[in-house]
Amino acid sequence: MNNSRLVVNTKQLPYDPNRLLPDDTNILVLDEDGNLSRRSTDSFPISSINRRQQYTNTEISDDDRMETGIMSTVREDEPYSETAPIANNLVAGILDAETVAKHISKIGKTADASSISYLTLTLPGYGLRDISILSNYTHLQRIELPYNNISDLSPLDNLSYLLELDVSNNKIRKLFDFWPPCNLKEADFSFNLIEEIKNVDNFHYLQKLILDNNQISKIEGLKNCYRLQHLSLAHNRISQIEELDGLPLKYLNLRSNQIRNIENLDSLQYLQQLNLSCNQLESLAGFPERLNFLEVLDLADNQLHNLSDIDRLSEFRLLRDLNLRGNKITEIDDYRLSIIFKLQHLTILDRRKIDAAEKIESKQMFNPSSEYFASRDHMTNVVFSFLQDHRVQESTLPNIETPYPMLILSGPDGCGRIELAHRLVEEFSEFFGYG
């Protein structure tokens, strides 16, 4: 038997596809507006004979099919106009309604609470080039379109309620090339072709912006982002830290750029995590004297070589994680103990947890207590006492024939007084005895 498809209009013909026994015919469901319903993607199979019996228990003519909303069956050897364009569109990189229907999710109330709608669209790695159809999905709040070939975001102009946008790994050359939704909070434009930070002035509610792996050479255009807390510009061409004044940043990532000097960070009073690794820093001159909330600092793979630079970080009482791997400073003798002693609040150094033994050792090395000195002196005396030959030199006697006077041996415990007394009695029995 040849496979066939039945197209059913749910507005005209009530039915329960889940009741149908699987056979050789697929039912495609149309919604009330005549559009292909998402329920079609489940492809409910049923034979033509079973369908007639379950819905009408009678034979149905072609005229009856039209009146009841059942269109004529389509054989596999005939072209099917509803599905063929979908495949062609995907090959051409054009996003269509059916693809959206398959990847839309998270049902919830719309932003204006007027109705229920799908709020999230996720389409990674589909080779999309044209997303014009998204202008019709005005209630979307989260869109994820990474790993595509998108270069134009203007279809997002109508998405007034958009909160999160991920268009990483595409071919976008212009940042925010669409009319900004006023409530956009998070945006990921990493791995694109962006050269300038522009068109950000109207994104007053933006909290997180990721621009890693682009071609940006200057930090600019962010002064009106009053709520920006997370900014990542790793793997770009930035040579100077600038135009960040007054931003409420908690996280700043400038890894793998061309920065030579630390500057213009004084106003970032809420900063908690700072990444300046893989740059060209030779010293920490210019580092702010006080970043009261700084917890994580990554300075790996620079050209730092002087331990005195670390003294600039001693006032950061909340600093817990410091990374200096890949710097010349790590080649200095007792480098790790020196850093642990200078920054006693650290818990992680160079991605390795600091244990209690290291903290004690660093303190003993660079600031030992008087008790520590006394114990070291005692240990030295004990060692020397065992190494020296215990005998009385003849030169200390006024006359070799003169008997010894009373001899009292004194000294700290462990210095060998008892052994010396025994040897004196044994070797000079005519002069010494036990009193």
Q: Is residue 41 part of a domain?
A: yes
User: Which pLDDT score, from 0 to 100, does residue 20 have?
Assistant: 38
User: Which pLDDT score, from 0 to 100, does residue 433 have?
Assistant: 75
Q: Is residue 73 part of a domain?
A: yes
Q: List CB contacts of 281: < 8 A, sequence separation 6 or more.
A: 259, 260, 261, 262, 299, 302, 303, 304
Q: Is residue 67 part of a domain?
A: yes
Question: pTM of the predicted model, to two decimals?
Answer: 0.67
Strand pairing partners for 435? none
The domain in which residue 391 lies consists of 381-427
Q: Is residue 390 part of a domain?
A: yes
User: Which pLDDT score, from 0 to 100, does residue 390 have?
Assistant: 58
Q: Phi/psi class of residue 308: alpha, beta or left (left: φ > 0; alpha: ψ in -120 to 50)?
A: alpha
Question: How many whole angstroms separate alpha carbon 230 and alpha carbon 169?
Answer: 19
Domain boundary among 58, 82, 106: 82
SS (H, E, C) 193-262: CCCCCCCCCCCCCCCEEECCCCCCCCCCCCCCCCCCCEEECCCCCCCCCCCCCCCCCCEEECCCCCCCCC
User: Which pLDDT score, from 0 to 100, does residue 151 have?
Assistant: 95
Angle 270-274-276 (CA atoms, 0-180°, nearest 5)? 150
Which residue, among 168, 238, 170, has the nearest Cα to 208 in the 3D structure?
Answer: 168
Is residue 137 a contact partner of residue 121, using CB atoms and an 8 Å limit?
yes
Residues 301-353: pLDDT tens digits?
999 999 999 999 988 999 999 999 999 999 999 999 999 999 999 999 999 99
Q: Is residue 221 part of a domain?
A: no
Q: Is residue 109 part of a domain?
A: no
Q: Is residue 249 part of a domain?
A: no
Per-residue pLDDT of the chain (435 residues; tens, 9 = 90+): 444 344 444 443 344 434 333 444 444 444 544 444 544 443 333 333 333 333 333 343 444 333 333 333 333 333 333 333 434 566 688 999 999 999 999 888 888 778 888 899 999 999 999 999 999 999 999 999 999 999 999 999 889 899 999 999 999 999 988 886 778 999 999 999 999 998 787 788 999 999 999 999 999 999 889 999 999 999 999 999 999 998 999 999 999 999 999 999 999 999 999 999 999 999 999 999 888 899 999 999 999 999 999 999 988 999 999 999 999 999 999 999 999 999 999 999 999 999 999 998 888 887 776 676 677 777 887 777 777 665 655 555 566 666 656 677 777 777 788 888 888 888 887 777 776
User: Which pLDDT score, from 0 to 100, does residue 181 have?
Assistant: 77
What's the domain count of the chain? 2
Question: How many whole angstroms separate alpha carbon 73 and alpha carbon 15?
Answer: 18
Q: How far is CA 31 from CA 28, 69, 71, 228, in A?
A: 10, 11, 14, 43
Domain boundary among 82, 116, 145: 82
User: Which pLDDT score, from 0 to 100, does residue 3 have?
Assistant: 41
User: Which pLDDT score, from 0 to 100, does residue 130 have?
Assistant: 95
Q: Is residue 385 part of a domain?
A: yes
Domain boundary among 28, 61, 82: 82
Q: List CB contacts of 214: < 8 A, sequence separation 6 or more.
A: 189, 190, 191, 192, 193, 194, 195, 235, 236
Rounded to an integer, what is the distance from CA 288 to the centroid of its chain? 25
User: Which pLDDT score, from 0 to 100, does residue 53 have?
Assistant: 36
Which residue, among 1, 5, 58, 69, has the nearest Cα to 34 in the 3D structure?
Answer: 69
